Chains A and B, each alone.
Chain A
Amino acid sequence: MTRFFISGNEAFAHGIRLARPEVISAYPITPQTIVVERLSEMVGSGVLNSEFIHVESEHSALSCVIGASATGVRTFTATSSQGLLYMAECLPYAAGGRFPIVMMNANRSTALPWNIYGDQRDSLSQLDCGWIQVYAQDAQESLDLALMSYRISENCDVSTPFMINLDGFHLTHTYEPVDIPDQDQADAFLPEYSTENRIDFDNPKNLCFSAGPEYNTIFKIGEHIGIQNSRKEILETEESFAKLFGRRYTGLIEKYLCEDAEFVIITLGSISGLCKNVTESMRKKGIRAGVIRIRYMRPFPHKEISVAVSGAKSVCVLEKDISFGYAGTVFINVCAALHNEGVCVPTLNRIGGLGGKDITENDIQKIFLDMVEGKKDIAFIGVEGVNI
């Protein structure tokens, strides 16, 4: 293990290097570009022994790694925003084919208006495509997730593609000290990939077929079960990761000062760090504040969240996206979970950070005060007086 001062993108590229994917194909888009560049350099210099395929679009990038995955090798691609939407046709395709492809998505706003900065509308708009979705908080977690993602998605009970989201610029471009494991440590952690779901010359297969009404549901159930199975695999993988590397992750959610919390912000990604800081200052003022950081949006931590907020007086979902015509996508998911689990607690929704707009300490303090005041509304932050 060696410590370096590097950006989230660079840390992530090292995580992928350590996982030794055999085929990489990606198309550049800000703010993901550095990942593609670093991996190209690593392949070029021989540090990483992979096929790096320079494709002409994101649709081709994912299509290409689907083809490679169908031969039974480990694959990687990366994208962001418009690129993710451009490959959208291939997302459910990869999931339906049960190909454990790993993809990094640098969260970025989607056009129009054109904007290269970070919000999470890109990946959250693709929640239903059958991929596991995780949101990293810092550069170290990005690297560690790169390594863990293969072990989780390649588990034969899971066999599901895996999308790792990094907040554009906030996480992709800021520098932090990061511990990079040695290759032999990584090899000890991540077994070689083997699968039956692949092209085989001794036993030829027809893959990626059609299935009419009679059989379709059963395949879709299989896909659903695959993601459900990842709940267990995520925990087990984190457990062995902690044993080997000494860094412990917390499963589908991370709770911060939640035990006795009355007012809880639920959020995801890099903004969680600031939320935690504000939580501490709120506590000093006598407000029992807490934060839940959602790590995995799929599988969705409906039970974990419900248990964690069962004693709260108010819950606010703070998120950088909107499902136009209703509310934030995360809020919609959280409300459904609380309702289904029978947890009756007032909920608010705060939508901010769109197109990269700063979410400030003041904004977060205000959210806690709104909760204390007993508000239950859905509103944008950073633009006073606009409610939805």
Chain B
Amino acid sequence: MIVPNARNITEDEYFFGHKACAGCGGSLAVRIALKVLGERAVAVLPAGCMSAVGFNFPQLCFGNNAMISTFAGTASMMTGVEAGLRARGISDFQIVGFAGDGGTADIGIQALSGAIDRNDDIIYICYDNEAYMNTGTQKSSLTPFGASTTTTPVTGRVKGNTHEKKNMFEIVAAHGIPYAATASIGYLEDYMRKVRKASEIRGTKYIHVLAPCPTGWGVDSDETIDLARAAVDCGLWPLAEYENGVFHINREIKDLDGIRSYVRGQKRFRHLKDSDLEHIEKMRDLRWEGINKTWIKN
């Protein structure tokens, strides 16, 4: 496998001229993945920020073949495109989906589960900005504990989201999928390697990439990459792969105290009290206890 890096990545652009906010993590995840996959990629995007900013007739922003799916139908539409191209006798292509956390973990989870169950030959990339951003920052099941959103506001009785983030990576792995990975746009080369790797495996592949959203998180547009890194470094977003029934952890926690500095400065977390931070820390440690017991380190 040629590992894509800053020096050998193509200069071709497949996602440009779109209307994403400055500093949008999701648009970077889409743009970079398409650079890795190249012109034979067919992209399927459900309702969500990336389809909203990319497909406004007549300003259509994909340089490769691309289409919007229904919100719930990303994976099933990818299945159909894959089957159709195969029926046409075409073989050298790659179907890639880019769905938000809502489109993946909530409304689209049934179709995703069905596609993995059939082991359709597709790459499904979830760009996780931790809320429904396109409709104005409402909670999804991947919104982290404590975050304020417009549907989990900080009110007298409730202080933001009271649920834990759904563990999509392990849910997907539990299907026995050939390849699943977590990634972060803070570690682009790792992300690119995983996209490349996914493209070389047959069957269903799932990559869950953390993609901060300055608009929804309440941070400056030049903080996206740093935050995406910090989430990994403080252990809240483990970088990992699942292959042949085995979990691998790609990067250990560097900064055990980092949760406070990660959370600080994000508007969505600014109401959190020490006890909330302790809870977040406790949940992280529990997760890592499990990881350290069973996941392989590499």
Given contacts A56-B114, A60-B110, contact A207 B87 (CB under 8 A): no
Query: Is A210 a contact of B55 with CB atoms below 8 Å?
Result: yes
In the complex, residue of chain B having the shortest beta-carbon distance to the beta carbon of A60: B76
Given contacts A53-B118, A54-B118, A63-B80, contact A206 B55 (CB under 8 A): yes
Query: Is A59 a contact of B80 with CB atoms below 8 Å?
Result: no
Query: Is B84 a contact of A68 with CB atoms below 8 Å?
Result: yes
Residues of chain A within 8 A of B87, CB atoms compared: 22-23, 50-51, 68, 71, 73
Q: How far is the CA of A68 from the CA of B67 in the complex (A)?
A: 12
Q: CB within 8 Å of B: which of A177-209?
A: 199-201, 204-209
Query: Is A56 a contact of B40 with CB atoms below 8 Å?
Result: no
Per CB-CB distance, the 6 closest pairs between chain A and chain B, nearest first, are: A67-B80, A71-B84, A63-B73, A56-B114, A60-B76, A68-B84
Query: Is B68 a contact of A64 with CB atoms below 8 Å?
Result: no
Most interface-central of A57, A69, A201 (chain B CB within 10 A): A201
B198 in contact (CB, < 8 A): no
Residues of chain B within 8 A of A206, CB atoms compared: 54-55, 60-62, 65-67
Q: Chain A, 1-41, contact with B by CB distance < 8 Å: what is the 0/1 string?
A: 00000000000000000000011010000000000000000
Q: How far is the CA of A66 from the CA of B70 in the complex (A)?
A: 10
Q: Would you give 25 A-B contacts (Cβ < 8 Å), ordered by A? A: A22-B88, A25-B80, A56-B110, A56-B114, A60-B73, A60-B114, A63-B80, A64-B76, A67-B77, A67-B80, A67-B82, A68-B81, A70-B81, A71-B81, A72-B88, A75-B80, A199-B67, A204-B65, A204-B66, A206-B61, A208-B55, A209-B68, A210-B52, A210-B55, A215-B57
B111 in contact (CB, < 8 A): yes
Query: Is B76 a contact of A63 with CB atoms below 8 Å?
Result: yes
Q: How far is the CA of A205 from the CA of B60 in the complex (A)?
A: 9
B191 to chain A, nearest CB (A): 24
A175 in contact (CB, < 8 A): no
Which of B39, B60, B66, B70 is in CB contact (< 8 Å) with A93? B70
Q: How far is the CA of A63 from the CA of B68 in the complex (A)?
A: 11
Q: CB within 8 Å of A: which of B237-263?
A: none
Q: Chain B, 95-117, contact with A by CB distance < 8 Å: what is the 0/1 string?
A: 00000000000000011011001
Query: Is A201 a contact of B56 with CB atoms below 8 Å?
Result: no
Q: How far is the CA of A201 from the CA of B93 in the complex (A)?
A: 9
B290 in contact (CB, < 8 A): no
12 additional A-B pairs beyond A64-B79, A70-B80, beta carbons within 8 Å, are A59-B70, A59-B72, A60-B76, A60-B110, A60-B111, A63-B69, A67-B69, A67-B77, A70-B81, A71-B84, A206-B54, A207-B67
B63 in contact (CB, < 8 A): yes
In the complex, residue of chain A having the shortest beta-carbon distance to the beta carbon of B77: A67
Interface residues on A, range: 35 or more
B32 in contact (CB, < 8 A): no
Residues of chain A within 8 A of B114, CB atoms compared: 55-57, 60
Residues of chain A within 8 A of B201, CB atoms compared: none
Query: Is B70 a contact of A204 with CB atoms below 8 Å?
Result: no
Residues of chain A within 8 A of B62, CB atoms compared: 204, 206
Query: Is A201 a contact of B77 with CB atoms below 8 Å?
Result: no
Residues of chain A within 8 A of B51, CB atoms compared: 210
Q: CB within 8 Å of B: which of A66-104?
A: 66-73, 75, 89-90, 93
Query: Is A208 a contact of B65 with CB atoms below 8 Å?
Result: no
Residues of chain B within 8 A of A55, CB atoms compared: 76, 79, 114
Query: Is A209 a contact of B72 with CB atoms below 8 Å?
Result: no
Residues of chain B within 8 A of A204, CB atoms compared: 39, 62-66
Q: How far is the CA of A105 from the CA of B110 in the complex (A)?
A: 23
A78 to chain B, nearest CB (A): 15
B78 in contact (CB, < 8 A): yes
A221 in contact (CB, < 8 A): no
A65 in contact (CB, < 8 A): yes
Given contacts A59-B73, A215-B58, contact A65 B80 (CB under 8 A): yes
Q: How far is the CA of A207 from the CA of B57 in the complex (A)?
A: 10
A112 in contact (CB, < 8 A): no
Residues of chain B within 8 A of A53, CB atoms compared: 79-80, 83, 118
Q: CB within 8 Å of B: which of A204-256?
A: 204-212, 215
Query: Is A66 a contact of B80 with CB atoms below 8 Å?
Result: yes
Q: How far is the CA of A59 from the CA of B39 in the complex (A)?
A: 29
Q: How far is the CA of A199 from the CA of B82 in the complex (A)?
A: 11
Query: Is B65 a contact of A63 with CB atoms below 8 Å?
Result: no
Residues of chain A within 8 A of B66, CB atoms compared: 204-207
Residues of chain A within 8 A of B93, CB atoms compared: 201
Which of A75, A90, A201, A209 is in CB contact (< 8 Å) with B40? A201
Query: Is A73 a contact of B67 with CB atoms below 8 Å?
Result: no
Q: CB within 8 Å of A: which of B16-41?
A: 39-40
Residues of chain A within 8 A of B65, CB atoms compared: 199-201, 204-207
Q: CB within 8 Å of A: which of B195-234?
A: none
B180 in contact (CB, < 8 A): no
B287 in contact (CB, < 8 A): no
Which of A56, A71, A211 is in CB contact (< 8 Å) with B111? A56
Q: How far is the CA of A51 from the CA of B77 in the complex (A)?
A: 14
Q: How far is the CA of A56 from the CA of B54 in the complex (A)?
A: 29
B42 in contact (CB, < 8 A): yes
B13 to chain A, nearest CB (A): 13
Q: How far is the CA of A310 from the CA of B294 in the complex (A)?
A: 81
In the complex, residue of chain A having the shortest beta-carbon distance to the beta carbon of B44: A67
Query: Is A63 a contact of B70 with CB atoms below 8 Å?
Result: yes
Q: How far is the CA of A89 from the CA of B93 in the complex (A)?
A: 28
B9 in contact (CB, < 8 A): no
Which of A64, A208, A211 is in CB contact (< 8 Å) with B67? A208
In the complex, residue of chain B having the shortest beta-carbon distance to the beta carbon of A63: B73
In the complex, residue of chain A having the shortest beta-carbon distance to the beta carbon of B51: A210
Residues of chain A within 8 A of B69, CB atoms compared: 63, 67, 208
Q: How far is the CA of A180 from the CA of B57 in the complex (A)?
A: 46
B85 in contact (CB, < 8 A): yes
In the complex, residue of chain A having the shortest beta-carbon distance to the beta carbon of B114: A56
Residues of chain B within 8 A of A209, CB atoms compared: 55-57, 60, 67-68
Q: How far is the CA of A114 from the CA of B78 in the complex (A)?
A: 33
